[in-house]
Each structure stands twice: as structure tokens, then as C-alpha cells.
Structure 1
Amino acid sequence: MNYIIFGGSGFIGTHLIKLLKQECVKAGDKIYDLDIVMPGEEGVVPGVVEKIEGVEYVRLDVRKEIELNFQPTSNDIIFNLAAVHRTPGHPDYAYFETNILGAENVTAFAEKYNINKILFTSSIAPYGAAEKLKTEATIPTPNTPYGISKLTAEKIHMIWQAKNPARELTIVRPGIVYGKGEHGNMTRLYWGQKKHYFVYTGRKDTIKACIYVKELVGFFKYRMIDNDYPGVDIFNCTFEPAYNIEQICTTMQKATGMKRHIPLIPGGLLMTVARIVGPIGGKKIGIHPARVKKLMVSTNICGKKLAATDYKFHYTLEESFRDWFEDCGKTGLQ
């Protein structure tokens, strides 16, 4: 069989490939990493410079018609991880161009080769920013180009599945995904505490739904490889219940042996500083108006549906931070 990963050179894809190599690949199976960038190039996971033995890497742009020289089988699985996702960071059109055209071209590829299993990584962005708890039944109200493009991409994948009831489509909406190679929100949070420049922005109870990357790809395996689920299903992928920022900081410090006092700063004051500092380099340390605003708004995502499946989490929050710390040689979270 073939494991076909679009966007496999990125953070989640790199961890997925490692899991497939360790636990899934049998004689005759092949893993394809189809990405516009290759390991070691700018735009992929920092520090990941070597290609993994036994993986076929193909430079490919999902915005264009997809061609792949391979031998299809009846058991092939597609993991569609390809996306323009960091926000802020891209012009509006980039989200629509890659995320929508990509969904159209990936599903057309599946149609062409009669591949009947797709896992699509969406986002919690389609829910929109709001304090209210969101379940999979919540009506999406995206308020960013990224969120709108991801919701549209979900619908494109659903249209593909609806053409044949036997097809399997799993859509995952992960919270903040963290782990080795993330270099995003959680990494900045760690170093912000370590270097004494992180502060609570107006409140300590902001909910930040999150999931460890090894847990996320473990659910991918459970859903797509260990079981068969014809039809469409959507899962919020996060710890249940979700943790707030104070709980995350306290647990992160405990797991990494750090002791820091984090002051509480009025949100209005920090936003004023961000507007001044942001244009002259504030992004590097997270002092940017868009990021400050994100810190003050909860990502209050319900993970009860995932928790109700037979999938069993392998890590608590503290265990996940400790595992990440060990993966980095206990020198810091990278």
C-alpha cells in the first residue's frame, strides 16, 4: 500500500512519517512525501535537514494538477496536510490560493487513482475567535482569510466523499499543536518564560486548546490505519478539558525544571506597546498586535468527541512537555 502525504515536509508531516516508519510500514509499502519544499530547505521544520530513509520525496505544488509516478493499490491512504497556515504572516490571497486549490487538486488526484481514504488537517480557525465553547456541531463563523479558506477546503473534501458512500474522510481540527520542531506559539511561550519577557496579557484564565504532535499523529494512525470508518467525520483534536494559559505555563515550568514568576499586565497597555514595537521587530519575541490579541482571546474547543472514541491518549500535558524536553536533549524546547 501507499501512504501519500501532501505537505509531509512540515512539522506534523515529519512526525507522521516517523510514526509510519516505526509502526506501520510493512514489506512492499511505500511512503510518499509530496511537498513544495524538501527537508533542510527554508520553510520546513528548522533542524530537520536529512531525508528519512525509505521515504520517496517528490517536489510538488498542490496549487497545480498533481502528477505522481506510482503504483496505486486498493488500500492507499492520503494525508492532506498541505496548507498556508501561519497567521499573521501571509497576504490574504495566499491562504485561498493554496488551501482551496490544494483541496481541489488533492481530491481530484484521489478520484483519478480511486483512492478511498483521506485524512484532512483543517483547523479550529473556521470556528472564528470567540470565548464560547465550540463543539463539532457549532456552526462555523470564520473571521480570517485562513479560517474561511480552511472551511472551504473542508467542503471540497466532503463533496469528494459524497460521490461514493464507501469513501472515508476524516477531518481533524487541531488546537495548538506542539512538540519538537514546532517553532510556534508553544516554543515562544517557553522561551518567553525562560528569558523573562512573557507576561499574562490582561488575564490568566484564557483557554488555549492544544494537543501534542505525537498524540495527533497517533490519532491519525488510529483513525485511518487501525480502523475503517466509511463516511465523513470531524474531530476537534485537543486535550479534554482544554487548559488555560496559567495551567499551561505552570505545567511547562514543572516539566522542564524552570521556576519563573509571570506578571499580569493590563491588556490595553501591552497592546499599546505591541503597536509601537511590532513594526520594528516585535514579531521575533511575540510582541505583535495580532499575537497579543490572540493571547487575550480563548480558543475554547471541546474535545469530548475525541475523548469518547476508543483512542487512548498516551500523554498527559505534563508528560508531553517532559517528552518534548527530552527529545531536545533537555536543553530547552525547540
Structure 2
Amino acid sequence: MLAIIGGSGFIGTVLAKKLKEENINFKILDKNKSQEFPDEWEYCDVTKIETLISALKNIDTIINLAAEHKDNVSPISLYYDVNVVGAENVCKAAKINSIENIIFTSSVAVYGFVEKETGEDGEYHPFNHYGKSKLEAEHVYDAWFSSHSDNKLVTIRPTVVFGENNRGNVYNLFRQIASGRFLMIGSGNNKKSMAYVENISAFIHYVSGLSVGKYVFNYVDKPDFTMNELTSVITNALGKKEKNIRVPYFIGLFGGYCFDLLSKVTGRQFPVSSVRIRKFCAKTQFKSNFIDESDFSAPVSLSEGIARTVRNEFLK
């Protein structure tokens, strides 16, 4: 049986639907009750090892999707409590329950800002606590893998994941473009790697069948679109015309710093910050050196995934 830790969330729910369709037994371990699969849900908190030990009995494979990942998490220690201590607890509970298969979703954030298309052999330069904590978690899982010759570890580093019914940063970006009042900061020629939720879920299911060993994959749906191309894909899917307002990068970044200051003064969190402006304008291109060599095929094209998402969200 599979255990999906963090399975009540966005990716976990889509993955659980796929497993259900294929009659694969699983249970969801999460602090929050699964709305889609309440009968398969069991309470679990990765920061509390006793909940993991009991919940992982009679489990063959762990899929760990649990993470603290938002840009503005406070206190900062939560990144390390959930992502690093959580990894340590998962590995301890796996040893206690003699579980030899772990699939861990890390992030391309371990590479930080990249100047060129980056594969799994890229250098590690995480720029925020999310990326730093994910890299530390990878080291924890690597140590677990080395502790026993029969262990299997698959580390997946997805780029930004989007899809229907998600309310993260990509949804906010799509919503702004769909509104016809989109503020394009910079030239819009920077390319962005993305991953559609159905595809990453299919890939997680695919790697569960790999043989014993250690694997590391970036997950990206190709081709990469520039921000200008992404705008066109979204507006075309909605049958609208592009109405972008363009602002030079230095003005946009200055505005981000102003919101940072305002956030410190008021104690409020705002949707605009200097970090988000930098991430928006950065070139974030990734590739996998290994997936293309496998027989995995993404079930949905990137453009179709984007079209499905925006039609579902903005043509109601």
C-alpha cells in the first residue's frame, strides 16, 4: 500500500484520483482532512514522529508531498520544522516500519536563480529558506538511502506546478492575465519552466515502479514559454485580446521594495514583494537529463494544460 504524506493538498488530490482510477490501494496522511477522499485519510503531522510511526504501519511505499513552501511563511523556522525535521521523522518512521521505498518531492528551488537551462547536474544556490530547507531535506533522504542496500529513493524536483483549483502564485498570475489588466514588468522575454499537475502526478506514479536504487529527476513540461508567449496562450484559450500594461523592471522592483517596507510597518502580507518581482522577471528554465531517456510520456501537453486550467477557472 502507498502512503501519500501531504496528500490532502493540490498535487496529492490529483495523484490520489489517478491511483483510485487504477485500483491502487493508498492512504492519505495529512494534518488536514482530505475533502475528496475522507475514507482514505488519516491524521498525521510530519513534525510529530509518533503520528508517522503509527500511520505508516503496513505501508510499502512513502510518497512525501508535505512541505512548507509559501514565500512569506512566518516564523522562518517553520520551513525547517516541516521540510527538514519532517524529513528526519519520515526516515526514522520508515526504518521503524521496515519501509524501503520513498519518493520525495523536492524543488528546483535548490538551484536558486539560474542563468541558463539547468538539469539535475546544476549547482546548488538556493536563495530563500524554502530552497535551503528542501536541499537540507534531500541530504536527510540521501543518508536514509545509504543506510540500507535494499532502499529505493526517488527525489523529484518539480518546477512551479499549476492546474485546476489551485490558488497559488500561478493562479494569481493567470487571473491577472485573464482579467485584461495584466502588468507586464520587464520585457516579457524571460522564459519560465512550468509543470501541469496531471503530468507531475502521472510521473510520481510512474517512478513508483522503478527498481531499487537512487534517482533524481527535475520535472518540467516542455516547451518553456516566455512571459509574452504565456500571455498569448492564456488569452487565446479565453478568446480575448491581449491588453498588457508594460512597466520597466527597475520601477517594478522599486515598487516591490515599497511593499516590503509597508509589510514591515503594518505587519500585513501583500501579494506584491521584491522577491516575487525578482522571481517574476527571472529566467527560470530547467530540464531533465533523464526523463527523456525513459519511456515516460506526459499525458497532457503544456499548452493544453494551461488552456484547461484557465477555462476551468475563468469561463464559469
The aligned residue for residue 244 of structure 1 is 226
**3-state DSSP of counterpart to 1:118:** strand
Pairing 1:179-190 to 2, within 5 Å after superposition: 179-190=163-174
Q: Indicate yes or no: 2:107 matched with 1:123.
A: yes
Are the equivalent residues in 2 in contact too, given 1:174–1:238 (CA < 8 A)? yes
Are the equivalent residues in 2 in contact too, given 1:240–1:304 (CA < 8 A)? no
Are the equivalent residues in 1 in contact too, given 2:107–2:134 (CA < 8 A)? yes
Are the equivalent residues in 1 in contact too, given 2:57–2:97 (CA < 8 A)? no
The aligned residue for residue 45 of structure 1 is none
CA-based RMSD of the aligned residues comes to: 2.2
Are the equivalent residues in 2 in contact too, given 1:241–1:302 (CA < 8 A)? no
Measured in 1, the distance between the counterparts of 2:30 and 2:152 equals: 23
Percent same amino acid at aligned positions?
27
Name which of 321, 329, 334 aligns with 2:306. Answer: 321
Q: What are the ranges of 5 or more consecutive residues in structure 2 without an aligned counterpart?
A: none
Measured in 2, the distance between the counterparts of 1:215 and 1:90 equals: 31
Taking structure 1 as reference, are residues 134 and 90 closer, same or farther at Cα in structure 2, changes over 3 Å only? Answer: farther
Deviation at 1:327, TM superposition (A): 4.6
Are the equivalent residues in 2 in contact too, given 1:204–1:244 (CA < 8 A)? yes
Deviation at 1:71, TM superposition (A): 5.2
Deviation at 1:228, TM superposition (A): 2.4
Name which of 154, 158, 161 aligns with 2:142. Answer: 158
**Which stretch shows the higher mean deviation, 77-86 or 130-139?**
130-139
Q: Indicate yes or no: 2:78 matched with 1:94.
A: yes
Are the equivalent residues in 2 in contact too, given 1:88–1:290 (CA < 8 A)? no
The aligned residue for residue 13 of structure 2 is 14
Taking structure 1 as reference, are residues 329 and 146 closer, same or farther at Cα in structure 2, changes over 3 Å only? Answer: closer
Q: What are the ranges of 5 or more consecutive residues in structure 1 without an aligned counterpart?
A: 40-49
The aligned residue for residue 53 of structure 2 is 67
Corresponding residue pairs, total: 310
Measured in 2, the distance between the counterparts of 1:205 and 1:306 equals: 27
Q: Which amino acid aligns with 2:6?
A: G
Taking structure 1 as reference, are residues 265 and 32 closer, same or farther at Cα in structure 2, changes over 3 Å only? Answer: same
**3-state DSSP of counterpart to 1:233:** strand
**Which stretch shows the higher mean deviation, 78-87 or 287-296?**
287-296
The aligned residue for residue 47 of structure 1 is none
**3-state DSSP of counterpart to 1:200:** strand
Q: Indicate yes or no: 2:248 matched with 1:266.
A: yes
TM-score (norm 1): 0.86
The aligned residue for residue 310 of structure 1 is 295
Deviation at 1:326, TM superposition (A): 5.2
Are the equivalent residues in 1 in contact too, given 2:44–2:55 (CA < 8 A)? no
Question: What CA deviation, in whole Å up to 9, does each residue of 1:188-237 have, x standing for no partner?
Answer: 1121122333222112121211100000000011110xx22211111110
Q: Which amino acid aligns with 1:33?
A: I
Deviation at 1:244, TM superposition (A): 2.0
